[in-house]
Amino acid sequence: MSQPLLPGSTIGVLGGGQLGRMLTIVARRMGYRVVSWIGGPDSGPAGMADLVIQDSFDSEAGLTRFIEEADVATVEFENIPCDLLEKVAGVMPLMPGVLAITTCQHREREKLFLSDNGFPCAAFCVVDSVETLAEALVQLPDNGGILKTAEFGYDGKGQLPVNRDSDAGETWANFDAPRAVLEEKIDLATELSVLVVRDQRGGAVCYDPGENIHRDHILDVTIVPARIEESVMEEARKVSLGIAEALEYIGILAVEFFVSGNGRLLVNEMAPRPHNSGHHTIDAYDVSQFEQQLRAITGLPVGTTRAHSPTVMLNILGDVWGPGGESPDWSSVLEMPGAALHLYGKHEARNGRKMGHVTFTAPTLGEALANQNRAREILGIPALK
């Protein structure tokens, strides 16, 4: 793109969740229109867009309308059909590009990309039959491994713990996937994520690494600055920038890391879009991850990644709503200084469903952590382990 797309242009978003909603809020603030092609009924978040296309992702009418409306396209979740990505990229700029999205949406391609390019990741084997699974199981370390579907896994779905004694035939019959990746199980000390923003000229900057804590395989809190050695965080930044360059990436890329008990830094997975662990940037940074995404894909200069305060982001799941859909006690939460509530406009609260988040900023990280601990008590969220 030789000239920046200026306000008044239309941003095309593939997907209809909360990430698209938060990108749309920024786009409208900056004077852009948004068309969201969501591939089905609107669950609530996409309603912020100027135009919502609900046709399925294999609809020619939907594709025609999207192409007519949008000047540039991006994704707000990675599981968009590859043929659709290629059709969109054939007629308008798609950022990030097809290579980046299709690599990140498929664990086998993702692991092979990391391995082939020398980026550190857990030892793995590709599995496509009972026979290849049996061969891979005997190679596992003493603490076993995790069998993961090659496609469509998120928030812990499509994963099964196994060990060398697992029955290959029974395991494969019950796994219900044509291809999988068997990874070594990591003795986990910490999880980190790094957000990289890379512009159309190849310039890239990182946000501070976030320390992530999960509950039931769903992100619970992100803590920034991460409580880990600076040398580990610097290495995470270096690896993340290298990945973005290797993918010829444009936009926001999230790289998630495992830090093992013996100090290994390993890439777990990547997300070719804004990320749940970056929501704190809305309230704690000069420029949020969503504004960075907009700037990058329109060709505007990317912004600073300067934080103005320590922060803790607490995910709010549908579990905290009452059995009849009663709203949580937001007043008591918002009485705390530095608390910022973000709800995603979803029509229905369900257990395990991401409904919003609360960001706690404070002069010190200790104060931010203490405030989110009080919020957990108010909302009935189990205490951090």
Q: How confident is the model at residue 146 (pLDDT cuts 50, 70, 90)?
A: very high
Mean pLDDT for the chain?
A: 95
When pLDDT is cut at 50, 70 and 90, the band that residue 118 belongs to is very high
Residues 183 and 145: beta-carbon distance below 8 Å: yes
Q: Give pLDDT, residue 157.
A: 66
Residue 158 confidence (pLDDT) above 90: no
Please determine, for residue 156, whether its predicted confidence score (pLDDT) is greater than 70.
Answer: no
Q: Which range in 140-144, 169-173, 266-270 is most confidently predicted, on average pLDDT?
A: 266-270
Confidence of residue 155 (pLDDT cuts 50, 70, 90): low
Percent of the chain with pLDDT over 90: 92
Go through the domains of the chain in sequence order and give each one's CATH number.
10-94 (3.40.50.20), 123-184 (3.30.1490.20), 188-379 (3.30.470.20)
pLDDT greater than 80 at residue 152:
no
> Which tens digits make up the pLDDT trace of 328-371?
999 999 999 999 999 999 999 999 999 999 999 999 999 999 99
Contact between residue 107 and residue 148 where contact means Cβ atoms under 8 Å apart:
yes
Least confident range of 129-133, 156-160, 277-281: 156-160
Q: What is the pLDDT of residue 150?
A: 86
Q: Which two tokens stand for residue 197?
A: 């923003």
In the sheet with 51-53, reading across from the earlier edge strand, the strands are: 51-53, 33-37, 10-14, 72-75
* pLDDT the model gives residue 153: 58
CA distances 373 to 75, 230, 282, 366, Å, are: 34, 25, 21, 11
pLDDT at 41: 93
Q: What is the mean pLDDT of residues 168-182?
A: 90
Greater confidence (143 vs 28) lies with: 28
Residue 324 has a pLDDT of 87
Write out the two tokens for 323.
């059995």
Tell me: pLDDT of 26 over 80. Answer: yes
Window from 100-114, 162-176, 196-210, 239-253 with minimum mean pLDDT: 162-176
Q: Could you give the residue ranges of the DSSP H alpha helices within the chain?
A: 18-29, 60-69, 82-89, 98-104, 107-116, 130-137, 168-175, 230-246, 281-284, 289-298, 330-334, 365-379
Q: What is the pLDDT of residue 148?
A: 92
Share of the chain above pLDDT 70, in %: 98
Q: Write the single-letter amino acid at 37.
A: W
Task: List, for residues 269-279, the tens digit of each pLDDT value.
Answer: 999 999 999 99
120: CB partners within 8 A, 6+ apart: 114, 239, 264, 265, 266, 267
pLDDT value for 200: 96
**302 phi/psi in degrees, rounded to 5:** -70, 155
CB 262 within 8 A of CB 187: yes
Name residues whose C-beta falls within 8 Å of residue 268's C-beta, 6 or more positions apart in sequence: 121, 122, 191, 256, 257, 258
